[in-house]
Amino acid sequence: MNNQALIQDPMAIFAYLIAIIGVVFMISTIENNGVKKFFRYLPPLIWMYFLPMISTTVGIIPQSSDLYSFLSTYMLPAGLLLLMISTNVPATFKLGGKAILVFLAGTVGVVIGGPIAFALFQGILPDEAWRGVGALAGSWIGGTANMGAMIDSFDTPKDILSPIILTDTIVAISWMGIMISLANFQERFNKWNGADNSTIKKVNEEIATDIARNAKPLQLPQLFGILAVGFAGSYLIRAFAKLEFIPKTEVMSTSTWTFIIITAVGIALSFTKVRNLEYYGASKVGYLGIFLFLTGIGAQANLMDIVQAPQFILMGVVWLIIHIICIFTAARLLKAPLFFVAVGSQGNIGGTSSAPIVASVFQPALAPVGLLMGIVGNVVGTYAALLCGQLAKMIAGG
């Protein structure tokens, strides 16, 4: 632990991180055009990374703490399980084959782009950089929750994690800004591509109606039910994943199995009455766990490590270009609207946090569609990122 940090006690660090989340989100809700515009292009998600990163760099909080391990081991799985049980799977599939295929083309771009970019820059990257490729693949196929799973699965060292986080922040946020700017050209793109967006409108109406009809004020029984499912459920799954008959390898560790099982169990529960907890705000509680984990990830990065990052950033740019080529090629072949490209790409690269933001910029009423695509990213991200990391390991000679 960094003894020079101003705040050392894990509980004090926890209070500091949750205060960051609270302040950022409270400011983002201020009814002011300037504030709204600011957070439209620099959403709260960015500050979940950046403010703890700055805090570590200037010595307010340490770069290493037992709290960060706690957030990864317990808060992240609980948040992910709650997010999974809230999935509206039938509505997601009603988006149609084009939406899913465009999204999956973006996923393929990430899976093959990582190993290709890693192979190109392997000579100037550290020996264990392939573990960082696996971690970044998690972030770029579903977002923060999957990144956390891959950090644990690939045992990404801190000296690799820091430049990977910087790469994720710089490259992914830059791409999100470009996608937002492309919203002004969607009608022109759709006309050129011969695309039909009627399905998008139908799905949005169904989701909005479902939420409006069933949303209920949170009461104590439901709150405790949400906490019980999230924490007790994820703990039991982790305990199951530790059992000896579950095969373990360097990559398929207890943590990896935990997240794979959580994904499967969460999706299965989303078809039961457990999903009714979403009407009381289960996913919002889940996001709290994920955002807390995200601040912990940001706190483990130090901007002074930027001297190590240029080669990682170059790798990230090449990787992203391969993703872009794959997703736009699919959109052209399928005559898909630019909206599907935007949410498909952000469902991969940004996940559930930024995909709704980009979706709302393209179509103000369609943020839920972006969320659904982000959830699809969560579902496939664990498996696809594992594949990407394994391919990078093979290239590294592991």
DSSP-derived secondary structure letter, 232: I
In tens, the pLDDT along 228-249 reads 999 999 999 999 999 988 887 6
Calculate mean pLDDT across residues 280-304: 84
Q: Of 275, 265, 46, 297, whose CA–CA distance to 149 is shortest?
A: 297
Could you give the C-alpha distances from 117 to 159, 280, 312, in angstroms and in order? 20, 43, 10
- Binned at pLDDT 50, 70 and 90, residue 352 comes out as low
Structure tokens at 87: 């999935």
Task: Give the chain's end-to-end CA distance (angstroms, integer).
Answer: 30
- Binned at pLDDT 50, 70 and 90, residue 153 comes out as confident
Rounded distance between C-alpha atoms, residue 101 and residue 75, angstroms? 32
**Range from 92-106, 107-121, 234-248 carrying the lowest mean pLDDT:** 92-106
Query: What's residue 306's pLDDT?
Result: 67
Place of tokens 């081991």: 73
In tens, the pLDDT along 51-61 reads 998 999 899 99
Taking 70 as the threshold, does the pLDDT of residue 332 lie above it?
yes
Query: What's residue 142's pLDDT?
Result: 73
Burial of 34 (0-12, 13-18, 19+ CB in 10 A): exposed
The answer to whether the CB of 145 falls within 8 A of the CB of 137 is no
Query: What's residue 37's pLDDT?
Result: 81
Query: What's residue 363's pLDDT?
Result: 67
User: For a pLDDT cut of 90, what percent of the chain falls above it?
Assistant: 34
Query: What's residue 86's pLDDT?
Result: 80
**Range from 78-82, 174-178, 265-269, 331-335 carrying the lowest mean pLDDT:** 174-178
Rounded distance between C-alpha atoms, residue 271 and residue 60, angstroms? 45
Identity of residue 137: A
Q: Using CA of residue 79, residue 85, residue 86, residue 90, what is the dihedral sign? A: positive
Full-model pTM: 0.70
Structure tokens at 236: 């039991």
* Mean pLDDT of all residues belonging to the chain: 84
Query: What's residue 63's pLDDT?
Result: 87
Query: What's residue 388's pLDDT?
Result: 93
- Binned at pLDDT 50, 70 and 90, residue 1 comes out as very low
Which DSSP string do the residues of 35-49 spell out, in sequence order? HHHHHHHS-HHHHHH
DSSP-derived secondary structure letter, 306: G
Taking 80 as the threshold, does the pLDDT of residue 348 lie above it?
yes
In tens, the pLDDT along 322-331 reads 999 999 999 9
Residue ranges of the domains in the chain?
Answer: 64-396
- The three-state secondary structure class of 193 is helix
Q: Using CA of residue 386, residue 387, residue 392, residue 398, what is the dihedral sign? A: positive
Taking 60 as the threshold, does the pLDDT of residue 209 lie above it?
yes
Taking 60 as the threshold, does the pLDDT of residue 342 lie above it?
yes
